[in-house]
A and B are shown apart, each in its own frame.
Chain A
């Protein structure tokens, strides 16, 4: 399966713990996007990364949230000291380049529950 992969699919964390969400883009894609979705709402852009570079992080809270896309390995979205308000579905998407980013390929998402 050459699609976008995300793991874990479900993640439960207690308040104050750290959450690490992983995303492997589609084969041949070097641009990765992270979105957050609350029930009954649209997807909210968080961050856009290219290999080893953060291109746009304007949608990501400045505190507790960070993202990386290393030269080797998956992209990681890290949430430190989680709070109940962080409970949501987090989707990552990929595209081969920015010009074709109107068509983003999404992974199945990680459902984060903070207890």
Chain B
């Protein structure tokens, strides 16, 4: 089966940097995606890593280490609007690639 672990809550202040970790156990790992969800609204895609290393997209970056079964999402220059839930999700070769397995999410609270 698949399991993903991420912290349930993280807090930080405006302007700070925060890192949300995700460790996974899955057979046939293919890639790791990150999604943001505000107050139960539509999840929105942030980033994807299929290979080791860092992917940078504006204030957000995502990192993957396949050998450690570990990834993280880095949020820089935090803003109040970044307060949301963040989910990591894996794809694996053992099932259809369209099937994403989501973690339980990390609730980020940004304080002024």
Q: How far is the CA of A41 from the CA of B43 in the complex (A)?
A: 13
Where chain B touches its partner, the secondary structure class is loop
Least CB distance from A57 to B in Å reads 10
Closest to B104 in A: A42
Q: How many A-B residue pairs have CB under 8 A?
A: 76
| Residues of chain B with a CB closer than 8 A to A105's CB | 45
Closest to B102 in A: A42
- Asked if B99 contacts A42 (CB within 8 A), the reply is no
Question: A69 at the A/B interface (Cβ < 8 Å)?
Answer: no
| Residues of chain B with a CB closer than 8 A to A31's CB | 98
Number of interface residues of B (CB under 8 A): 25
| Residues of chain B with a CB closer than 8 A to A37's CB | 40
Q: How far is the CA of A4 from the CA of B97 in the complex (A)?
A: 20
Beta-carbon contacts under 8 Å, A25-76 to B: 31, 33, 35, 37, 39-45, 48, 55-56, 58-59
Kindly identify which residue among B45, B95, B97 contacts A58, using a CB–CB cutoff of 8 Å. Answer: B95
Q: How large is the interface on A (under 10, 10 to 19, 20 to 34, 35 or more residues)?
A: 20 to 34
Contact with A along B19-48 (1 / 0, CB 8 A): 000000000000101000000111111001
| Residues of chain B with a CB closer than 8 A to A56's CB | 95-96, 98-99
Least CB distance from B84 to A in Å reads 14
- Asked if B42 contacts A48 (CB within 8 A), the reply is no
- Asked if B31 contacts A42 (CB within 8 A), the reply is no
**Given A101-B91, A108-B41: A41 and B104 interface contact (C-beta under 8 Å):** yes
- Asked if B42 contacts A108 (CB within 8 A), the reply is yes
Least CB distance from A42 to B in Å reads 4
Interface positions of A (Cβ within 8 A of B): 4, 31, 33, 35, 37, 39-45, 48, 55-56, 58-59, 89, 91, 93, 95, 98-99, 101-109
User: What are the nearest 7 A-B pairs in CB distance?
Assistant: A42-B102, A101-B98, A56-B96, A106-B42, A48-B98, A102-B48, A103-B45
